A and B are shown apart, each in its own frame.
Chain A
Amino acid sequence: MNALGELADGFATALTPQNLLFALIGVLLGTAVGVLPGIGPAMTVALLLPVTYVLEPTSAFIMFAGIYYGGMYGGSTTSILLNTPGESSSIMTALEGNKMAKAGRGSAALATAALGSFVAGTIATLLLALLAPTVVDLAIGITAADYFAICVLAFVAVATVLGASPLRGLASLGIGLYLGLVGTDVLTGQERFTVGVPQLSDGIDVVVVAVGLFAVGECLYVASRLRRGPVQVMGTSGPWFTKEDLSRSWRPWLRGTAFGFPLGAMPAGGAEIPTFLSYATERKLTKHPEQFGKGAIEGVAGPEAANNAAAAGVLVPLLTLGIPTSATAAIILAAFQGYGIQTGPTLLTTESSLVWTLIASLLIGNFMLLVINLPLVGIWVKLLRIPRPYLYAGILMFASLGSYAVNADPLDLVLLLVIGLLGFFMRRYGWPVAPAVIGLILGPIAETNLRRALAISGGDLSVLVDSWVSRIVLLLAVIALVGPIVLRLVRGPRATPEEVQEAGTLQRPVPAGRDRGDDERQEDR
């Protein structure tokens, strides 16, 4: 029970007033950005990366972790009350949650979402604490070649498994890998892709790329859309969470956790697949099949638990292997790098107090989220009344400020705009942004390991498939690459959560104000 002892020490650090304050700031910010569609935890953490220059690591990571968990809670509020999922992981919540709100059961839906998130988040974080040392023990012996194989698996899985099109995912990954290459080669000192600009010899800063892709890209995209009308907010009236609701909710919570944690921990990461699976399972297992599609509480409880459990699951590869499997995790990894902290299997031993404080603060943050979400829903919904021009002007300002603060170099602002335009076109043509960010941050790590492995073997490529770990992992990567294409040939295009959602008479999953409005009014007539 060494892990629990370490966790207790972590609590001691996390419970200092200063760290509690940062946890509170984190969960408040996280909930706020989770509520607002189009702005997610990844963008927020990217915008806040410059604070790592002044804050000490513990405080910064406590805040980032709060944002990460908070985003999951906030998304459910918008899904349930507005039928516009704030995050892709809460698409499934909107299916049943909004129906419940329309039937006057809004507060019960919000309660099961918040309680389910709390239960799942707590269980999954404890699992993370118990599992992390074991994974580290397994991982400590892996070679550079094995590590490279794991990176390849993460690349391929993130690019092909998520999103509608493997090709777009891979293309986006390529952009990220390319941007990661810019700069001076660490081993040979050669300059790569710097086009003779001296400032580029240090590489393009992660802050500039992440903020450009997420924040500036999103702002340009929102600005380019036609103005759409406001959407209808459901009241949170109706009976409070009853005993019957609880008895119908607790099994979906646990099942959702069981889906979310392991799938979140896998390299394909993310919360979309587990929420999707959880919804499908609850639909099959429910004793009230007639209520599905009309507001079944199980359909809210399961996916909400799953997305929070997945959020904790994503931290397993991040903290034990240094492999990010979601965009937010990638940016948190960049923050580790910014502090000069060596990520990877050694993180838990070299920075053990930091990691355990982080895990303890996740549990604390989870509790805070329950407290601030249940009674304060009304306040969060008020955030949605902020006119978009003000909101995005503010984001742009923070984006420019943060990018300029990195090196105090005007060239970074030009790069920010160029990358922002790139982000805009990626959104415009449906390229997922997450693979690019993961490629950018994980790419250099993968490269270092590849070259280290080749240096040891004297350039012999067979070293890459020398151990069983690499063979199995690379095989999985091939399956992840070919699998979706084969499945598509055999069964036709796969059903994405979006399509299921459309079949479930839900509007588009894209943030509201973009594609909504007209259909809503027709429905009202």
Chain B
Amino acid sequence: MSPGTVVVGYVPGPRGQAALLHGIEECRRRGARLVVVNTSRGDALVDERFLQGAELRSLEDELVVSGVEAELRRPMRGRDVAEELADVVEETSAELLVIGLRRRSAVGKLLMGSAAQRILLDVPCPILAVKAPPR
């Protein structure tokens, strides 16, 4: 059987970094392939969560250095994170999805909704949710 796949939902910042580290670790443990997804709806002029320039290059370097077989996908089709991740998980028949969580206030979640919650509900495979290491 071909090696499985671990998908990581990546955003710049400590939580994305934590998700990436755990994802790489899981890949090593399972001997799996790593697919890193960094997506944007692309409907705003500026999206800080979409990697560009130096940040993009340093992520690519990090993937090379990690030693696992890795692939970076940057879909931008006007759909939100949960949909894109669910798609990638389905397409690669991933065995695990790793996402980074952050603290959200109740009001913030009420107003903006929670991407993490959407992902937990929409994505069919097991999900590992990690937090940024406390400072």
A residues with CB within 8 A of B = 36-37, 82, 84, 227-233, 381, 384-389, 512-513, 517, 520-521, 524
Q: Which residues of A contact B42 (CB under 8 A)?
A: 227-230, 517
User: In the complex, what distance in Å separates the CA atom of A381 from the CA atom of B48?
Assistant: 11
B53 at the interface (CB under 8 A from A): yes
When distances are taken between beta carbons in the complex, the residues of chain B under 8 Å from A389 are 43
Query: B78 within 8 Å of A by Cβ?
Result: yes
For the complex of A and B, the 9 pairs showing the least CB-CB separation, nearest first, are: A230-B47, A384-B46, A232-B52, A384-B45, A387-B43, A387-B44, A229-B42, A388-B43, A232-B53
Chain B residues with Cβ below 8 Å from A385 are: 44-48
Q: A524-B53, A524-B56 are in contact. Are A231 and B45 (CB under 8 A)?
A: yes
Give the distance to chain A from B58, nearest Cβ to Cβ, in Å. Answer: 12
Given contacts A227-B78, A230-B50, contact A384 B56 (CB under 8 A): no
A82 with B45: CB separation less than 8 A: yes
**B41, B46, B47, B52 — which one has the most chain A CB atoms within 10 A of its CB?**
B46
- How many of B's residues come within 8 Å of A, CB to CB? 17
B46 touching A230 by the CB < 8 A rule?
yes
Chain B residue with Cβ nearest A81: B46
* B76 adjacent to chain A (CB < 8 Å): yes
When distances are taken between beta carbons in the complex, the residues of chain B under 8 Å from A513 are 45
Closest to A386 in B: B44
Distance between Cα atoms of A82 and B52 in the complex (Å): 12
Q: How far is the CB of A103 from chain B (nearest CB, A)?
A: 13
Chain B contacts for A228, CB-based, 8 A: 42
A222 to B: closest C-beta gap in Å: 10
What is the CA–CA distance of A386 and B45 in the complex, to the nearest angstrom?
Answer: 8
Residues on B with C-beta less than 8 A from A82 are 45-46
Give Cα A233 to B77, complex, Å.
Answer: 21
A512 CA to B43 CA, complexed, in Å: 11
Residue B17 is within 8 A (CB to CB) of chain A in the complex: no
Provide the residues of chain A in CB contact with B76, threshold 8 Å. 227, 229
Residues of B within 8 A of A231 (CB): 45-46, 52
Between A231, A232, A381, the greatest number of chain B beta carbons within 10 A of the residue's beta carbon is seen for A232
Instruction: Kindly identify, within residues 39 to 84 of chain B, every residue whose CB is under 8 Å from any CB belonging to chain A.
Output: 40-48, 50, 52-53, 56-57, 76-78
**If A229-B40, A229-B76 touch, does A512 touch B52 (CB 8 Å cutoff)?**
no
With a cutoff of 8 Å between Cβ atoms, the chain B residues found around residue A227 in the complex are 42-43, 76-78
Considering only CB atoms, which chain B residue lies closest to A235 in the complex?
B54
Least CB distance, A493 to chain B, in whole angstroms: 31
Chain B nearest CB from A523 CB (Å) reads 9
**Chain A residues in 8 Å Cβ range of B43:** 227, 387-389
Q: How far is the CB of B78 from chain A (nearest CB, A)?
A: 5
Show 14 residue pairs from A and B whose CB-CB distance is below 8 angstroms, ordered by the A residue: A36-B45, A82-B45, A227-B77, A229-B76, A230-B46, A230-B52, A231-B52, A385-B47, A388-B43, A388-B44, A389-B43, A513-B45, A524-B53, A524-B56
B45 to chain A, nearest CB (A): 4
| Min CB gap A105→B, angstroms | 16
Residues in B whose Cβ lies below 8 Å from that of A384: 44-46
Q: With both chains docked as a complex, state the minimum distance between the C-beta of A224 and any C-beta of chain B, in angstroms.
A: 14
Complex Cα distance, B77 from A185, in Å, reads 53
From residue A382, how far is it (CB to closest CB) to chain B in Å? 8
A residues less than 8 Å from B46 (CB atoms): 82, 230-231, 233, 381, 384-385
- A residues within 8 A CB of B78? 227
> Restricting to B14-54, which residues have a CB under 8 Å from any CB of A?
40-48, 50, 52-53
How many angstroms between the C-alpha atoms of A384 and B47 in the bound complex?
8
CA–CA, A381 and B44, complex, Å: 12
- Contact check, A230 vs B44: say whether CB atoms are below 8 A apart: yes
A231 to B53, CA, bound (A): 10
Report the separation of the CA atoms of residues A230 and B42 in the bound assembly, to the nearest whole angstrom: 6
| Bound CA span A232–B53, Å | 7
A442 to B78 alpha-carbon distance, docked (Å): 43
Identify which of B44, B48, B77 gathers the most chain A CB atoms within 10 Å of its CB: B44
Q: Are B45 and A524 in contact (CB under 8 A)?
A: no
Most-contacted residue by chain A among B41, B45, B47, B50 (CB, 10 A): B45
* Bound CA span A228–B41, Å: 9
Closest B residue, CB atoms, query A37? B45
With both beta carbons as reference points, the residue of chain B lying nearest to A512 in the complex is identified as B45
Question: Nearest chain A CB to B127's CB is how many angstroms away?
Answer: 26
Q: For the complex, what is the distance from the CA of A524 to the CA of B57, rounded to whole Å?
A: 8
A381 to chain B, nearest CB (A): 7
Q: For the complex, what is the distance from the CA of A388 to the CA of B43, rounded to whole Å?
A: 5
Task: Please indicate the chain B residues that have their CB under 8 angstroms from the CB of A381 in the complex.
Answer: 46
B41 to A, closest residue via Cβ: A387
Taken together as a complex, chains A and B put the C-alpha atoms of A381 and B46 apart, in Å, by 8
Most buried by B among A228, A230, A389: A230
- Complex contacts, A387 vs chain B, CB 8 Å: 41, 43-44
